[in-house]
Structure 1
Amino acid sequence: MVRRLAVPQPFSQRNPWRYLRDADVLHAALVTLLAVALSAGTVWLGYVVHVWRIARRAPITLPGRWVVLVFGQQLVADEPGHDYRGRLARARVLLREGAAGRVLLLGGCSGGTRSEAEAGHAWLRGQGVPADARIELEQESVDSLENLRHARGLLQGGDRSDVMPPVALLTSRYHLARCLLLARRLGFDGHVLAAEDILPRTPRYLARLLMEATYLMWIDLGVRWARLVGHRRMAARIS
């Protein structure tokens, strides 16, 4: 059974440069740079250690049946790339084992002709999933924050007073810490679930971990600063 969340036409496009025109994002960036400079980089190292610990310790399965949120990734020639296929493969295992009672594939259009969620669903169908698998497609989001906002709306059925079930956040190990932070800010009872069996030790993966630590620091320090100085609009960006 597949349910698709309505997709606006044309698709929303993934465009990270749009954030550089956002005053609140630039404000958070300035605060982050000052924190790094004043701490001689130790603040950033603390976030690196945090991201690495979550990446290393994350489980690959959870007891019971879960609502599983599978985070998309920019497609390669309209097909899931290496990391996204790893996330989908883990979701397939959970579906076949009965550990995923409901799977939400998250991700809008990242530059091609179809959404990340649609491409992920096609990949799962090609690999074979149980006929009664409950899979839903969220195709409006263009980043991790929007992934979670739209998933929240889907789970609540449009009523924010509804209690959401605990969710498993399924993504690549380097991406888990940021998704967990955002999920908790948005009110999820989120639990990390890793795509890879173990933490890869390659230069590419290390670069991903370092980049994620930077993103996480930027988000976390920006929100903390906004709350400290009473900047309500800036603090509300992640809510």
Structure 2
Amino acid sequence: MASLFAPLKRGPWRHARRRDLLHVAVVVGAAMVLSLGLVWLAYLVYVWRVAARSPLAPPDRRDVLVFGRKLVGGRPERDYQQRLARALGLVHEERVARLFLLGGCSGGRVSEAEAGLAWLREHGLPLGLAPKLEQASTDSLDNLRHARSLLRHDAGDDNPGTAVPPVALVTSRYHLPRCLLLAHWLGFEASVPVAAEERLRLDRRIVLRLLAEAAYVMWIDLGLRWARRIGAARLLMRVR
């Protein structure tokens, strides 16, 4: 039974009740059975397209959100370094209005955002740029929720109904589909993806990540769509 709920214990479902998790599992499971697995295939196509086609820069100068990743020895590992390098390139191309580094402590004493800032400074971050650090979260959903609060606060309007300014989401290609979906649910209507890697490389690690990402995106999207349809306030609370 614990393994059934494992995929739902992250993101929007992390604080939901077991009964709510079971409800989501039944709905998504029914969709899989009735569609003979085609619904998962549809999400896999979505994940593939976002991962393969995302650009390397936003269309204009805007706020940039860089997603962190679990540190290794207190320092960014390969995927996180690629994200930071892409953001640094955008800074040098003058495509960044404000830079936000997202990520709290994921096992060590240093937050992912702090380690990212140190890496950027080591690699030529202009002295006049002071990135904003979001250090209160360790998953993509809370990264975006707290970043949304920072954006509204900087704009001088903390009203939950205030529109979120256009942003660029910088992360690894395999991670972009999830971030785009969550950004949509959180009201980042004008967000655009920016890929850390030059192109999508299909080795075993990335293929497995894309397959898992399709399942995870399906759990989130179908569950939230169903929650909205039936008016399940507890399930929708995390994406408001």
Taking structure 1 as the reference length, the TM-score comes to: 0.88
Q: Deviations over 1:123-175 (max 9, x none)?
A: 11111111112311000011101000000000001333444320001111111
Mapped to 1, the partners of 2:126 and 2:70 lie a distance apart of 26
Contact kept? 1:69, 1:170, Cα under 8 Å:
yes
Tell me, yes or no, if structure 1 residue 102 matches structure 2 residue 98.
yes
Q: Deviations over 1:200-226 (max 9, x none)?
A: 111101111111111100000101111
Alignment-mate amino acid for residue 221 of structure 1: L
Change in Cα spacing, 1:134 to 1:228, as seen in structure 2 (3 Å) is: same
Secondary structure at the residue paired with 1:55?
helix
Contact kept? 1:167, 1:191, Cα under 8 Å:
yes
Structure 1 residue corresponding to 2:29, chosen from 8, 29, 33: 33
Q: Deviations over 1:63-118 (max 9, x none)?
A: 33110000111111211111111100100101111111211000011001111101
Secondary structure at the residue paired with 1:237?
helix
Q: CA deviation at 1:41?
A: 1.2
Structure 1 residue corresponding to 2:140, chosen from 140, 144, 147: 144
Q: Deviations over 1:159-201 (max 9, x none)?
A: 3344432000111111111111111111112111110111111
Correspondence 1:85-234 to 2 at 5 A: 85-157=81-153, 158-188=158-188, 189-234=190-235
Secondary structure at the residue paired with 1:236?
helix
5+ residue gaps, structure 2, are: 1-8
Moved more, 85-94 or 25-34: 25-34
Alignment-mate amino acid for residue 169 of structure 1: L
Change in Cα spacing, 1:235 to 1:91, as seen in structure 2 (3 Å) is: same
Secondary structure at the residue paired with 2:122?
helix
Q: CA deviation at 1:21?
A: 7.4
Change in Cα spacing, 1:112 to 1:30, as seen in structure 2 (3 Å) is: farther
Alignment-mate amino acid for residue 174 of structure 1: Y
Structure 1 residue corresponding to 2:57, chosen from 26, 41, 61: 61
Contact kept? 2:16, 2:234, Cα under 8 Å:
no
Q: CA deviation at 1:43?
A: 0.8
Contact kept? 1:169, 1:190, Cα under 8 Å:
yes
Change in Cα spacing, 1:26 to 1:19, as seen in structure 2 (3 Å) is: farther
5+ residue gaps, structure 1, are: 1-14
Secondary structure at the residue paired with 2:238?
coil
Taking structure 2 as the reference length, the TM-score comes to: 0.88
> How many residues end up aligned between the 2 structures?
225
| Structure 2 equivalent of residue 9 of structure 1 | none
Contact kept? 1:28, 1:219, Cα under 8 Å:
no
Mapped to 2, the partners of 1:61 and 1:134 lie a distance apart of 20
Mapped to 1, the partners of 2:100 and 2:204 lie a distance apart of 31
Change in Cα spacing, 1:16 to 1:163, as seen in structure 2 (3 Å) is: closer
Mapped to 1, the partners of 2:182 and 2:128 lie a distance apart of 31
User: What RMSD in Å do the two structures reach over aligned CA positions?
Assistant: 1.9
Contact kept? 1:101, 1:134, Cα under 8 Å:
no
Query: Which of structure 1's runs of 4+ aligned residues deviate more than 6 A?
Result: none
Structure 1 residue corresponding to 2:71, chosen from 70, 75, 78: 75
